[in-house]
Amino acid sequence: QVQLVESGGGVVQPGRSLRLSCAASGFSFSSYPMHWVRQAPGKGLEWVAVISFDGSSQNYADSVKGRFTISRDNSKNTLYLQMNSLRAEDTAVHYCVREVAYGGSYFDFWGQGTPVTVAS
């Protein structure tokens, strides 16, 4: 079955960096665009970043552009999010999300999320 397992979250000071990972299994990872979506405590969902199935293109929300980098290693079935210059407002559960391979660009499967807390 489809599994997305995030890791790498934790507590970090403002201005520092963190790298999240998402291990995918149960499907052909290299065929799917992948996303990161986050949810601040008690808040709604915010799209963060997307990467194409082959890693050739990426796009970001304005709130993280220039600070975050999404990447993937299809040989390892793993998605990454490098987060630099972290701010208090980046505190959130970060979800690894699969976009459908065709027929639209909605999200058909979500990982359980990894929490990131930015605090001094």
Q: Of 9 and 111, which has the nearer Cβ to another protein?
A: 111
Please check whether residue 45 is in contact with residue 92, taking contact to mean a CB–CB distance below 8 angstroms. no
Closest approach, Cβ 77 to another protein, in A, equals 19
Closest approach, Cβ 120 to another protein, in A, equals 27
Tell me how far apart the alpha carbons of residues 29 and 38 are, in angstroms, rounded to a whole number: 21
Closest approach, Cβ 101 to another protein, in A, equals 13
Closest approach, Cβ 16 to another protein, in A, equals 26
Q: What is the CA radius of gyration of the chain?
A: 13
Q: Of 39 and 84, which has the nearer Cβ to another protein?
A: 39
Tell me how far apart the alpha carbons of residues 99 and 12 are, in angstroms, rounded to a whole number: 29
Q: Of 57 and 59, which has the nearer Cβ to another protein?
A: 59
- Listed residue (116, 120, 111, 119) closest to 36, CA to CA: 111
Question: Interface with another protein by CB under 8 A: which residues?
Answer: 35, 44-47, 50, 59, 95, 100, 104-113
Tell me how far apart the alpha carbons of residues 16 and 2 are, in angstroms, rounded to a whole number: 33
Residue tagged 């929300």 (tokens): 61
Q: Of 89 and 108, which has the nearer Cβ to another protein?
A: 108
